[in-house]
Structure 1
Amino acid sequence: MLLHREALAVLGYPGEVARWVEDYRAAMPHHEPPAPRFALDPADASSWRPALGAFDRSGDWEVLFARELAEAPWRQVLARWWPRLLPGLWAGLTHGVIRTAHAVRGLAAAEEPTPAQLTEPARGLAYWAARWTALPGQPRLTGTHDLAAAVAAVPRPPRQEGERPGPGMAAGRLARLGSLPGYEEAPCLPAADQAPRLLGELTLRCADVCLHHPEVYPVPLVHGVTAPAAVRLVLPHRPAWWSPRWPRCGRWARPS
C-alpha cells in the first residue's frame, strides 16, 4: 500500500492518498504477515538461501532486513542484497522489486532517513525474498535479438481449461513458459551496457503489449511495465562495482 501512496505523491496527487487508502482497505482483504521464527544469518548462505521463496519465513526476512538497515547505510544493504534477489525478480508478480524501488526513491530524497522510511525497504526486501521466484531458462548475453524482437518472441502459454484470471493463473503460465518452443532464445540478448535506456525501452514495449491485447487479463501485463520502471529507479543508486552488463545465467558480475 505504501508504494501506491508514494507513487501518488510523486505524481502530484498527495490529496488523493487518504481516499485511495480507504478505498483499497475496503476492496482488498488484508492479513497479518507470518511471525518470525528462526534467525537468518546474512553472512551464511546456508542460512538465508534455503529461505528464499518461503513465504512462511517472511517474518524472519523482515527481522533480518530491519537489523541490516539499522546497522549499515541503506545503500550498502541494497548493494549486498540486490544481486542475491534479482534472479528471483518475478517474486509476487514483481511486487518485491517494485516495493523496494519505491522505498529507495523515498530514501534517496531524504537527508536523513526516518524510522518509517527504513521500515519500508525492510518490508519490501522481505516480501521479495519470501516470494522469490526465478524465471525459467537461462538468460544469456549471446542472443541475436534486439529488445523489441525479444519481447515479440516470448511465446504465449495456451490457456488451460478451468484457468481463471488471477495470481494463480500468472504463476501457472510462468511455470509452463520454459517448456514452450522459442522461449530459450527469447530472453537472451547481446551484451548490454546501456541498462537505463534498455529498461526504458522495455517499459515502452510492454506498455505496447498491454494496449494491443485488451482480451488478456491485464494485471500481469501491467507489471511488465511497472517492474522494469522500478529497476530503473534503483540504477542511479548502484555502487560503482556493479557491472553495467546484464545477468549471465542468472548471476551478476559480483555475486556474494
Structure 2
Amino acid sequence: MDTTDTSGQLEEALERLHAAGPEREGWLSNHAPMVVEALAAHGHAGAAHRWVDQYRHKLEDFPDRLAPVTDDNWPSALGDPRRITDWTDHFSRTLADRPWRDVLAEWWPRLLPGMYGGATHVIIRVGHAVRALEAGETAPRRTELAHALGYWAARHQPVTGFAVLPGAPTARESLDAVPVIAKGHLGFLDRLAAVHRLPVWADDITDPDLARERLTELVRATTHRYATHAHGEPTMLVHAATAPNAVLRTLDSLPRDQWAPSLRAAWTASAAVTAMYAPDEPVAYRPTARLTAEEVMERALAHGDEHVIKLTDTALDVGDDLALAAAQRAIELSEPLVS
C-alpha cells in the first residue's frame, strides 16, 4: 500500500474538487474527495482524475455565503447547513494560522457528538483528510481538512433520546443485539429519529490503548457483518464500517484523552446505522473467487461506485479474508458508477 503518493496527483485532484461544494441536490454528499484519497492511499493515484471525470456530473457549487463564522459566534452556527460555505471559510482561515493537529484537537470534542450529520459522511471525510495529512502535509491536503471540518460543523447532527439496552461482551454480539426498526419508505433523518433503543458496548472503557483495541474490533466486526447483512441496504450499511474506521484513522492525530470518547461515539454511530438499515436475518455469503487485496481494489475501481471503493478501502485496512469478501459483496450488490 502506497500512502505517501509523492506524484502530486492527489493534490491535483483535490484542488480540482475544492471548487465544488460538499453536497448535491440539497443533502446528498459529495464523495469525490474521499474516493480520490482512498485511491491514492492504495497506489491508484493515477486513476483519480479519470474517476473524477466519471463523477463530475454529481458535483455542485458551494452555496452562497451568509455571514462569517467567528470564534465568538460559532455555537449559533453549529448544525446549520445553510452555513456550509461560512464554516469552510472559518476553518480555512484557522488552518492557515495554526498547526492542523491543534485545530483538530480543539474541534474534535465539539463536533464528535454530531458525527451522524450527512449520513455520517462528515466524519468519514475528516478521516480521509487526516490520513492524507499524516502521510504528507501539503496545502491541498490542509484545504481538504478545512472543507471536511466545515462540512461536519454545518451538518452537525447528534443522536439523542434513545433508551439504553444491555450490550454484550463483543462488538459482533452487540451488533446482533441492536433492535432493527421497521423500514417503510423513510429517509435517513426519519430513520434516525425512529431509533429509540440501542445497546451499549465498551462504555466503561477509559484507557486509551484499550479504546483503540475496542475500536479496531468494532471496525472488523462491522466490515465482516457487511458480507452477510448488506442485502438490507447495500449502500447505507457501508457506513456502519466506514464511519468508525474514520474515527480509528484519526486517533493518532488526537490527544489520548479523546480516544475513549471517540470509541463511544463510533459505537453509537455504527449501532444507529445498523438499526436503521440492517435486514431481519443474515444470509450466508461466499465470494465466487478468492482474490488478493490488490485484486479486490482493482475490481472496486473498475466498478467505480463511491461506496464500493470506500468500503473496499476499509476492508483492506482490516485485511483478512472475510473483510475482502465483504468488499466483493459490495461490488456484487451495487450499481456501477456511470458518467
Residue 70 (structure 2) pairs with residue 41 (structure 1)? yes
Partner of 1:10: 41
Structure 1 unmatched ranges of 5 or more: 251-256
The 8 Å contact of residues 136 and 177 in structure 1, kept in 2 or not, is answered as no
Contact 2:87 2:153 survives alignment (8 Å): yes
AA of the residue aligned to 1:102: H
Report the equivalent of 2:104: 78
How far apart are the structure 1 equivalents of 2:240 and 2:167? 22
Deviation at 1:24, TM superposition (A): 1.3
Are residues 32 and 187 of structure 1, via their aligned partners in 2, closer, same or farther at CA, if it must alter by over 3 Å?
farther
Amino acid corresponding to residue 204 of structure 2 in structure 1 = A
Residue 47 of structure 2 is aligned to residue 31 of structure 1: no
| Cα offsets for 1:85-112 (capped at 9, x unmatched) | 00001111111111111111121222xx
- Residues 189-228 of structure 1: matches in 2 within 5 Å? 189-192=202-205, 193=207, 194-228=210-244
Once the two structures are TM-superposed, the CA of residue 188 in structure 1 deviates from its matched residue by: 4.8
Of residues 127, 137, 155, the one that matches 2:161 is 137
Q: State the TM-score, normalized to the length of structure 2.
A: 0.62
Moved more, 149-158 or 69-78: 149-158
Name the CA shift for 1:151/1:214 in 2 (closer, same or farther; >3 Å).
closer
Q: Does 1:173 align with 2:181?
A: no
Alignment of structure 1 residues 34-113 onto 2, 5 Å: 34-42=63-71, 44=72, 47-110=73-136, 113=137
- Cα displacement (A) at 1:247: 6.2
How far off its partner does 1:213 sit? 2.1
Change (3 A) 1:60 1:205: same
**2:200 matched to which residue of 1?**
187
Q: Over residues 174-212 of structure 1, what are the superposed CA-to-partner deviations in whole Å (9 max), with x where a residue is unaligned?
A: 11002xxxx24x135341232222222111221233221
Q: Secondary structure of the equivalent of 2:123? A: helix
- Report the TM-score, using the length of structure 1 for normalisation: 0.81
* One-letter amino acid matched to 1:172: D
Q: Are residue 149 (structure 1) and residue 149 (structure 2) matched?
A: no
Call closer, same or farther: CA 1:238–1:148 in 2, change over 3 Å.
Answer: same
Question: Structure 2: how far apart are the matches of 1:55 and 1:213?
Answer: 32
Instruction: Tell me how far apart the structure 1 counterparts of residues 258 and 82 of structure 2 sit (CA, whole Å).
Output: 33
Code of the residue aligned with 2:124 in structure 1: it is I
> What is the identity, as a one-letter code, of the residue corresponding to 1:37?
L
- Is 1:246–2:275 an aligned residue pair? no
Between structures 1 and 2, the one with greater helix share: 2
Cα deviations across residues 26-85 of structure 1 (Å, max 9, x unaligned)?
Answer: 4x3x2212222212222x3xx212222211011110111011101110010000100000
Equivalent AA in structure 2 for residue 5 of structure 1:
V
Residues in 1 aligned to 2:108 and 2:213: alpha-carbon distance in whole angstroms = 20
Quick check: 1:139–1:187 contact (8 Å CA) kept in 2? no
- Contact in 2 for aligned 1:144/1:188 (Cα 8 Å): yes
Contact 1:89/1:132 (CA < 8 Å) preserved in 2? yes
Identify if the C-alpha distance between structure 1 residues 177 and 125 changes in structure 2 by more than 3 Å, giving closer, same or farther: same
Structure 1 residue identity aligned to 2:161 = G
Tell me the distance in 1 between the aligned counterparts of 2:146 and 2:44: 26
User: Between Structure 1 and Structure 2, how many residues are aligned?
Assistant: 230
Aligned to 1:211, the other structure's residue is in SS state: helix
Alpha-carbon distance between aligned partners in 2 of 1:212 and 1:187, rounded to the nearest angstrom: 22
C-alpha separation in 2, matches of 1:190 and 1:2: 33
For residues 204-239 of structure 1, what are the alpha-carbon distances to aligned partners after superposition, in whole Å with 9 as ceiling and x for unaligned?
Answer: 221233221243122221011111111111101112
The alignment partner of 1:116 has SS state of: helix
Give the gaps of 5 or more residues in structure 2.
Answer: 1-31, 266-339
Q: Are the structure 2 counterparts of residues 170 and 77 from structure 1 closer, same or farther at C-alpha, using a change threshold of 3 Å?
A: same
Amino acid at match of 1:176: A
